[in-house]
Amino acid sequence: MGAEIPGILKLKCSVKRYQWGKVGKDSRVGRLYANNSKEEIRGDEPYAEFWMGTHESGPSYAVVPVEENGGLPNGGLQRANGPKRNYCDLMSLKDWIRRNPHVLGDKVLQKWGPDLPFLFKVLSVAKVLSIQAHPDKDLAAILHKREPGVYKDDNHKPEMALAITEFEALCGFVSLEEFKSVVRNVPEIIEVVGTASAHQALNIREDDGDKKLKEVLHTLFTKLMSTSKIIISEVVLKLIRRLNIAREVRQLTDKEELVLRLEKQFPGDVGVLAAFLLNYVKLNTGEALYVPANEPHAYIHGECVECMATSDNVVRAGLTPKTLDVQTLCSMLTYKQGFPEILRGVPSNPYTVKYLPPFDEFEVDRCILPREKSTTFPAVPGPSVFVVISGEAVMRLPFSEELVTEGDVIFAPANTAITVETTSGLNLCRAGVNSKFFE
């Protein structure tokens, strides 16, 4: 089959109703999914994640043309300069790409095979997600082989969260200076890990070397996370009593206020104590946080666009009713210390900002297009997925066009320029393969 130029391909996407998601119409994920699927929002149900991609845990479906005899013409491709057909059938995006692998572009196909290398999501977070980390490729292969029911694939999962509202997260271990401050000022942690570990932490210095610093943090964190639930719940109770008394005589720190919030969501959980050891990150709209493999993190509240390598592997150790794997989490972490890098993006044009994390699989563009304006996403050598966060616009390829509105998701093949024009205003996000991969 020759490499036809496809027209605009709309996708029907999946939703995840995890308990931490925002409920009903308060959830942007709920609104996007309702518009995308033409389903009613259920007012009492959480809508946590909107998935756009090929992962089997939440696949997207290509809306493809059907011939009168019921067959799929041209591998499910709509020729851009061919006759219009009625769209009335669905094919999984994974299968559609396998039938039309040229849509990925040569370099992407050569590197990752006939599949989309990234998974794109929108998250609506009402309650904290688990303290978790995602394995690197080597560990992912081991975990998938050992427990395929828990670890669904053998891929790594570096990720990036781009805030579309104010967004809170825990990410990475605090600096050495803050680590010592926590050990000095949170007696409940000393009660759990013991005075020997605390003494070791307080006496370590930067010039002891990276390896020693990581060993001390590894030992203390593992002791904390491995302590019995009974002891932890008693100590957390003491912590909450102490903080409630303290707030009557002084202003609590941001981290202390956060810990009180987390405890209300997960009473007696070890994650309440562990939060003291992690950086508390507050993103403004338009700021992004990237998380490499083997780094601890937990999203707390807000809404974001998230992109990652195509994987659903999560190792959890607290703040969740789901399965915990404390031993694996504590052994896999890098134990790097310091505040994570915040990306503010690089303008591509007056309306579009590009976010480039240090991972080959993906990048994200955020386009805020005012009324009566247009912009062009230039042709790139890899595939793109667009999601309309709000507003509406006309998307144009050289030989086809489509009106898109909130909740519409579009797949654009490699080497395809797309012009977007709006009369009412548009908030649009795009995921694609990292531009640096093609350099």
Catalytic residues: 316
Taking the CA atoms of residue 240, residue 299, residue 225 and residue 250 in that order, the dihedral angle to the nearest 10 degrees is: -30
Answer whether 99's CB lies under 8 Å from 76's CB: yes
Is residue 206 a known part of a binding site? no
- Please tell me whether residue 99 adopts helix, strand or coil conformation: helix
Other Cβ atoms less than 10 A from the Cβ of 130: the count is: 24
CA atoms within 13 A on the CB side of 366: 21
Burial category of 10 from C-beta neighbours within 10 Å (exposed 0-12, middle 13-18, buried 19 and up) = middle
List the structure tokens of 307.
Answer: 């992109």
Distance CA 293, CA 300 (A): 19
Alpha-carbon gap, residue 433 to 63, rounded angstroms? 23
Q: Is 218 annotated among the ligand-binding residues?
A: no
Q: How do 297-309 and 315-318 pair as beta strands?
A: unpaired
Phi, psi for residue 195 in degrees, rounded to 5: -70, -30
User: Could you tell me the end-to-end alpha-carbon distance of the chain, in angstroms, rounded to an integer?
Assistant: 29
For helices 195-203 and 210-226, what crossing angle results, to 10°? 150
Ligand-binding site membership of 55 (annotated): no
Q: How far apart are CA 77 and CA 134, in angstroms?
A: 35
Q: Residue 134 annotated as binding? A: yes
The position carrying tokens 């956060």 is 258
CB 116 within 8 A of CB 383: yes
Name, in order, each residue with C-beta under 8 angstroms of 4's C-beta and a sequence gap of 6 or more: 74, 77, 79, 80, 100
**From CA 352, how far away is CA 430, in angstroms rounded?**
10
Sequence-ordered list of residues with C-beta below 8 angstroms from that of 21, at least 6 positions apart, any chain: 27, 29, 46, 47, 48, 49, 124, 125, 126
Cα Rg, the chain, nearest whole Å? 24
Q: What is the largest CA-CA distance in the chain?
A: 78
Residue with tokens 């998935």: 51
Taking CA atoms, 397 is separated from 9, 28, 378, 393, 435, in Å, by 11, 28, 11, 13, 21
Nearest to 93 by CA among 66, 59, 122, 119: 59
Q: What residues form the annotated binding site? A: 132, 134, 159, 297
Which residues are part of a known binding site for Zn(2+)?
A: 132, 134, 159, 297
